[in-house]
Structure 1
Amino acid sequence: MLSVQLFAIIGIPMVKRGDDIGELIVAAAEKQHLRIEDGDVLAVAQTIISKAEGEIVDLRTITPSPRAIEIAKKIDKDPRMVEVILQQSSEIVRLGHVIITRTKQGFVCANAGVDRSNVDHEHVTVLPSDPDASAAKIRETVKKRLGVDIAVIITDTQGRPFRCGCIGLAIGVAGMKPLLDMRGWRDLYGKELKVTVTCPADSLAAAAVMIMGESNEGIPAVLIKGAKYEKGNGTICEVIRAPELDLFR
């Protein structure tokens, strides 16, 4: 019987700039006698990646531009925060009670992924500049330390345009194809699937974020066993829909 198991990796210390996330995860897993094995998936929260890579901004050092000040007045937001959002964005997609932007990495999300949670007061985290590379670095560390071949997913939590409630999704991958192309497969009645492409990376990220939590749980990494995915050198760019194919803009 197919089963998927998820295990919280506990005991990871507060991450600071320059820390090796892969080493921290391996050490924490060993302390709780949790074996990382071939085919497993490590889901790692974006926040600790950003902290380790120095992607933290002190708002006290930010001087808002006139554009940031203008937008901040419209949406009742800290103009320094708005300035950071603009700096992390390639375009503003929509401006309402939140700022929907396309980030420099290509993601369309609220506030360019800039986040005040789980960092010191007056600081915010921004998304890793290259989440795929961040995932690859963790995967390589685990392979060197344990001799196992795993996949790594960097997770973030984002809202959705037509549904309430935020959900976990993948913003970086290594060692896996983020999509699973099921076109040509047969359904229960033998009919050929024509358009079905699933996203195991997002599905696994969503499951992992349920365990990570959203507040003070202190669980930034989850080990997933039994997941169904295609191994390979995938990239999160495969998941991002090209602007010309966006039906809702």
Structure 2
Amino acid sequence: MSTDGTDAHPIRSLTVLPARRADVELHTADGLTLVGELAVPEHAPPAATLVTLHPLPTHGGYMDSHIYRKAAWRLPAMADLAVLRFNTRGTASPRGTSGGAFDGGLAERFDVAAAIEFVEFHDLPRPWLVGWSFGSELVLMHGRDPAIEGAILLSPPLHRATDADLDAWAAFGKPLVVLVPELDDYLRPDEARARFARVPQAEVIGVDGAKHLWVGESSVRRVLDEIVGHVLPDHPLPLPTEWAGDTVEATA
């Protein structure tokens, strides 16, 4: 339902704030079409752009994985950020199914490149890569493009990305922010600090009580605050928990 805009209303897990949203297609160098969505601020040019890379599609990851869906629902209005979400090759969601087949992170290099090229072609400013779990591996392996300003990793397992990828990011020199849940299933904060010590510009942030999937509104708010705080250092934080303008409540 919509509010009348006269009172502040709590932002709940299914609250959608105003933005201009459009279905988009990305086209890869190896001939595939990937489906996605671009959300931009309703009445202002974006201050920066988030290019999101979702968790492992063979284990339920896709463009609607909840952190990214809520980023697209909230951050264009709250922080004037553009949010690009898309399904990597072979991945399906209500938006549709991207062409091709899952390749374990190898051919997905074309998907990452297509997303960055989309941002450049559409003159979206100051792109940051945001990779979650499998998406964090794609960032480390394939995200070192001079067009990006930096990257934020959520729950990096470091299964596919190697020390060589970390060394390459160190040489790349762009900022790397690493959010590691205290109770992660794969890589916990102390080990993450040891592994990412190879990247001098990496900032590893352990998040107390959080788990790999960042379930719960407190975890979502922490992630979105960290993203905005690093991409837009002068933006007021924490982000609001109420909204005085129009909202819509999405279906689950």
Structure of greater Rg: 1
Do the two structures share a fold, i.e. TM-score over 0.5?
A: no
TM range, smaller chain: under 0.3
Give the TM-score taking structure 1 as reference length.
0.25
